[in-house]
Structure 1
């Protein structure tokens, strides 16, 4: 793979062109949560006249911040969603919109489980993460896969529109009525 192609597929690199739908993992602001709470504990100890445990509060703040940093970095890679007019990106997996035959309908409440609801999940994760909803896609190979996002209705609408636009609004690119 040429160097220019490698840079384009690295996680975290924004795809070129307009972004039709985007989600990220955790915010980097959570990195400061533990140090802020440890500073509050130190302030509480100072105000109440108790002995301040500087060493333990510092160790806890640094260790917790480092652990949060690892988790935040992972969620920003594996929980990342981008949709452009040409490609759908789920984590580090890229799927060209020309490979999507249909965006399958969302299941109705109380309806039996659709076949795509147990299909392979796009990205590196084995299952759809908690508090995320899946959207079924039928690929040109006939396989079904699951895309996922926090707002699955918005992702479904964006994918339907992008696939229809990629196919010129006719034929196989629209939502499957079945």
Structure 2
């Protein structure tokens, strides 16, 4: 990689410097859910003197664990949020905070919808996932985008602090 090329962060790799806000996707512990339930079902069958279906329970446990593994890996890439003093990472997309002009106020909840609520969503997903909240950002180009996470109020506060700190820092002379 030449010195003129920007550094690219591989999905899942931690950015350099302090992290001001972070969220990950699902925990890898969820991969154990199906095998535990299948084991409990087998024990229940054994304790009640019913025929134990070990082969089918094992196949179901393995298949469910594999399906969960795919979903967990996807959420850990696409649902990942990192905010550093210089950049915001949503999934595999990186937004330089120098390009963020303003953190937009939250939607009022009235009939008038804030313009940023229909703006492009950062990251690879087309819409904000369920049980997630959005934070509107206005870029230096005038475009509005939506950052999203589980705790939008905390992300909004961290973004306001990071953008204020970036504005207060002296520019290149």
**TM-score range normalised by the length of the shorter chain:** over 0.9
CA apart distance, 1:6: 8.8
Structure 1 match to 2:32: 32
Structure 2 match to 1:128: 128
TM-score between the two structures when normalised by the length of structure 1: 0.90
Q: Alignment partner of 2:148: what SS? A: strand
Number of corresponding residues: 168
Separation in structure 1 between the aligned mates of residue 68 and residue 55 of structure 2, nearest angstrom:
20
Q: What is the RMSD computed on CA atoms of the aligned residues?
A: 1.7
- Residues 72-107 of structure 1: CA distance to partner in whole angstroms, max 9, x if unpaired? 000000000000001100000000100100000111
The change in CA–CA distance for 1:7 and 1:52 in structure 2 (over 3 A counts) is farther
Greater shift in the superposed pair: 160-169 or 29-38? 160-169
Separation in structure 2 between the aligned mates of residue 146 and residue 6 of structure 1, nearest angstrom:
24
Unpaired segments ≥5 residues, structure 1: 171-178
The change in CA–CA distance for 1:88 and 1:28 in structure 2 (over 3 A counts) is same
Structure 1 match to 2:47: 47
- Residues 90-131 of structure 1: CA distance to partner in whole angstroms, max 9, x if unpaired? 000000100100000111232510111100000000000000
Q: Alignment partner of 2:17: what SS? A: coil
Structure 1 match to 2:165: 165
4+ residue segments displaced more than 3 Å? 5-8
Separation in structure 1 between the aligned mates of residue 153 and residue 110 of structure 2, nearest angstrom:
17
The change in CA–CA distance for 1:169 and 1:16 in structure 2 (over 3 A counts) is closer
Unpaired segments ≥5 residues, structure 2: none
Structure 1 match to 2:74: 74
Separation in structure 1 between the aligned mates of residue 6 and residue 22 of structure 2, nearest angstrom:
22
Structure 1 match to 2:114: 114
TM-score between the two structures when normalised by the length of structure 2: 0.93
